[in-house]
A and B are shown apart, each in its own frame.
Chain A
């Protein structure tokens, strides 16, 4: 079978032009997707658990039924004084919504992988807003592109060909020639090597460079010292000029800003630079989101609770304070006494300090495959992969909602189904 216009369940680009060929329940060919997407689609059957597994109480593992695993999951969540429900970025929106309702009824904390990715970007947006646009707007109009603290070549391999450097658009018939590319990073990445202008900043210097650019753009460059974080004033002036004379500028940034010292203040400064540039010409800004549906988790959490991530329902109202209600902090402070992880792999992506606590409490993992988190949990429930054997909604990094289509049936339940069944058990005990 050949399936066209399929949606890739890898990164926040959410490419929807993928062609997939199957023979029986095997994928034999993938066209249009990048290396990352192709690999995910081609190897989808490998490493998947056959069914739920649980610790056997004797230092090993045993197989379990879905019913038993669901019962166990509901039990540990109900017993907890501070359950944490973490993950939610690589799953369908429908499951995310159920997760929020369950966290609310349980009096738990629900958080998504946002907190270790673009959480700081959201904190910045909450201070100064977000001048953004859809990616097609960039493709059709942008004549200056900035990639700052990100490396799309490695992390979002089709970003440049679909939306920026290599993508022709309505107002740019020969994109590669007509667009200027500025790359800013602390190391010379692959993306930097094709830039018209590469700005190498000393680690921790992003904030200062943004401040300097803002001052230069508004005509107060005289105040700026001759070098700022390793960048000459001359180069800063040149960059400012390119930006001001753009017809449409598009600023993309990655975790290079959100993870650097100052965190969200770097992003805030970036946004305020873009605001300043809008006094001269058109500029937009977009965070490069990692997981294909991390933005969906922010959207769903927001309309249901008012907050995009890190929502604490322990008092039956929604409370939000990243740094306090975020997963890394809660785990590092050993606050939570049970954890449900859905569609993410903190074992691979959380600091060791957090994992030590995760391994010491009843942790349940809902994930199709064996992951780094598997050894840390007490029970794992495999599910279908959205975009492969489950359908559902995902939000692209620019907020465009896309329907993910299933093309295989491998007999696994969906995340929505499993979270829903756990929720039903929870409701039996804690009547709403």
Chain B
């Protein structure tokens, strides 16, 4: 079953749309659901042109395709438990949060809190991801707990904050404080980043590019061979937080 949602032109394209119902398991049962445009409840069909092709016996046979300007559509794929969502353009905040299974692929850019508190499944962004990619929520000790997040462009600040399980791969650069408060899982950054892994207690972070503003409370333990065959400096920390996380870095600079 393939459900295509094409965003209609809106009178005010800046008003955010909250669309947590855009999930395969809900839409396979029917597309007569509502979403919110600001404080107004709207029918999905009022905002999207909807076409449904084929049938599905289980959620895993469902693909939802989003077209048009979906950069302000939030919470797509929330609590998703199977199937596939393909976003042809950009996607708004909180895409894939709490997702447990299935695949989301965003071909454009993803806004903030991409794959927040992910439990399982695969979430891919071909463009850039905003701040708090694969992060947690305010006040919560544990962020993402499982699954895989892969960003082929750059990620913003606080990527993988509170990461506790699963795998996060950023092929481009990360902003400030990636992996801050990490307590599990693995984070791999192919590009550069600033101040990674402050306060981490556990987990593994690998930076194949250059780290600026290296946190001064990681203990250098030696060198290892990285996944790309090159040498990486190995650290344990964050000592300030009695942490035992592993941090592997190609190049680094302290703010002296």
Q: What is A's interface to B at a CB cutoff of 8 Å?
A: 80-83, 106-108, 123, 126-127, 202, 204-205, 207-208, 210-212, 214-215, 218, 220, 223-225, 227-230, 261-262, 265, 268-269, 272, 313-315, 320-324, 333-335, 337
Contacts and interface: CB of A to CB of B under 8 A. Distances in A.
Contacts of A106: 39
Contact of B255 (A108, A214, A229): A229
B40 interface: yes
A227 B256 CA distance: 5
Nearest to B161: A265
A204 B255 contact: yes
A92 to B, nearest CB: 27
Given A127-B139, A214-B240, A81 B15 contact: yes
B113 interface: yes
A231 B122 CA distance: 44
Nearest to A220: B239
A218 B240 CA distance: 8
A272 B217 CA distance: 14
- Give the interface SS of chain A, mostly helix, strand, loop or mixed: loop
B154 interface: no
Given A261-B176, A334-B14, A223 B219 contact: yes
B157 to A, nearest CB: 8
B39 A211 contact: no
Contacts of B14: 333-335
Given A223-B239, A229-B255, A265-B198, 8 more contacts: A126-B139, A207-B198, A215-B240, A223-B237, A225-B256, A315-B36, A315-B39, A321-B137
B200 to A, nearest CB: 11
Given A82-B15, A324-B93, A212 B132 contact: no
Contact of A314 (B36, B131, B217): B36
A142 B216 CA distance: 30
Interface string B64-82: 0000000000000000000
Given A205-B255, A225-B216, A265 B180 contact: yes
A208 B239 CA distance: 12
Contacts of A211: 198-199, 215-217, 238, 240
A366 B138 CA distance: 32
Interface in B129-166: 131-132, 137-139
Contacts of A227: 256
Contacts of B18: 314-315
B96 to A, nearest CB: 16
A196 B16 CA distance: 52
Contacts of B176: 261-262
Interface string B210-230: 000101111100000000000
A324 B111 CA distance: 10
20 contacts: A81-B37, A81-B38, A81-B39, A82-B38, A127-B181, A204-B213, A207-B215, A223-B216, A223-B237, A225-B254, A227-B256, A228-B256, A229-B256, A230-B255, A261-B176, A265-B177, A265-B198, A314-B36, A323-B112, A337-B15
Given A126-B138, A334-B14, A108 B219 contact: no
Interface string B240-256: 11100000000000111
Contacts of B177: 262, 265
Nearest to B238: A211
A323 B131 contact: yes
B39 A108 contact: yes
Given A208-B216, A335-B16, A82 B39 contact: yes
A204 B195 CA distance: 11
B215 A208 contact: yes
Given A215-B239, A314-B39, A81 B195 contact: no
A219 to B, nearest CB: 10
Contacts of B39: 80-83, 106-108, 313-315
Nearest to B136: A127
Contacts of A268: 199
Contacts of B213: 204, 208
Contacts of B242: 218
Contacts of A321: 113, 137-138
A107 B12 CA distance: 17
The 4 closest A-B pairs by CB, nearest first: A107-B39, A81-B38, A214-B240, A82-B38
A324 B112 contact: yes
Contacts of A218: 240, 242
A215 B198 CA distance: 12
B142 to A, nearest CB: 12
Contacts of B112: 323-324
A362 B202 CA distance: 50
A220 B238 CA distance: 11
A220 B18 CA distance: 48
A207 B218 CA distance: 14
A208 B177 CA distance: 12
B139 A224 contact: no
Contacts of B16: 82, 335
A137 B123 CA distance: 51
Contact of B218 (A202, A223, A229): A223
A315 B17 CA distance: 11
A82 B39 CA distance: 6
A163 B14 CA distance: 47
Given A81-B15, A333-B14, A230 B256 contact: yes
Contacts of A81: 12, 15, 37-40
A314 B240 contact: no
A320 B138 CA distance: 9
Contacts of A212: 216-217, 240
A320 B140 CA distance: 13
Contacts of B238: 211
B15 to A, nearest CB: 5
Contacts of A322: 138
B217 A224 contact: yes
A215 B239 CA distance: 6
A81 B12 CA distance: 10
